[in-house]
Amino acid sequence: MLRYGLPLVVMVAVLGLLFVGLGVDTRTLPSPLVGRDAPSFQMEELRDPDRVLTEEDLKGGVSLFNVFASWCYSCRAEHPYLVELAKQGVTIYGLNYKDTRRDAEDYLRSGDPYEWIGFDPEGRVGIEWGVYGTPETFIVDADGVIRYKHVGPLNPRLIEEKIMPLVAELEAE
């Protein structure tokens, strides 16, 4: 029994591990920022360069903080969903990451879901937020604490199953 049983058990265990490994998404990293205060920043507004934005501008209500750029194709893919979310009354702030003002303004012609947009041409604010792949979306609660992070484009399923319930839950807090 041990002679054949043990190798079989070991083999099944190893195959099981390998099979689980196939399904693990190694590109999405857990963010150490979830559960912590939003990092402090200071940057110009995209369309209003005289206005300086700081982390205080995130407080006062539950919001999405969406990192995007005109050169980012998957940002274009999620853009209509953001516009739709804004129409439903969700507050969305933007971080225009490593972009130019002109390109970003062109990009927003198809719809502008953002209450304000931070302009971060060198990606410095992006580093503070641990941004490594656009688009990225954070959910920030009314106290300015990051409660959730998603890397990659938003899609209707994620919005319905995760984003909207969490926003509603945080608003009720």
**Residue numbers at the binding site for another protein (CB under 8 A):** 26-27, 29-33, 39, 98, 100-102, 121-124, 126-133
CB of 24 to another protein, least distance (A): 13
Closer CB to another protein, 73 or 132, in the complex: 132
State in angstroms the smallest separation of the CB of 39 from another protein: 8
What is the Cα–Cα distance from 169 to 173, expressed in whole angstroms?
7
What angle (nearest 5°) sits at the alpha carbon of residue 120, between those of residues 117 and 124?
135
Q: Identify the sign of the CA torsion 143, 80, 124, 102.
A: negative
> Min. distance of Cβ 134 from another protein in angstroms?
10
Between 31 and 66, name the residue whose CB sits nearer to another protein: 31
Q: Which is nearer to another protein, 113 or 129 (CB)?
A: 129
Neighbour count for residue 115 (Cβ, 10 Å):
14
Residue 74: strand, helix, or coil: helix
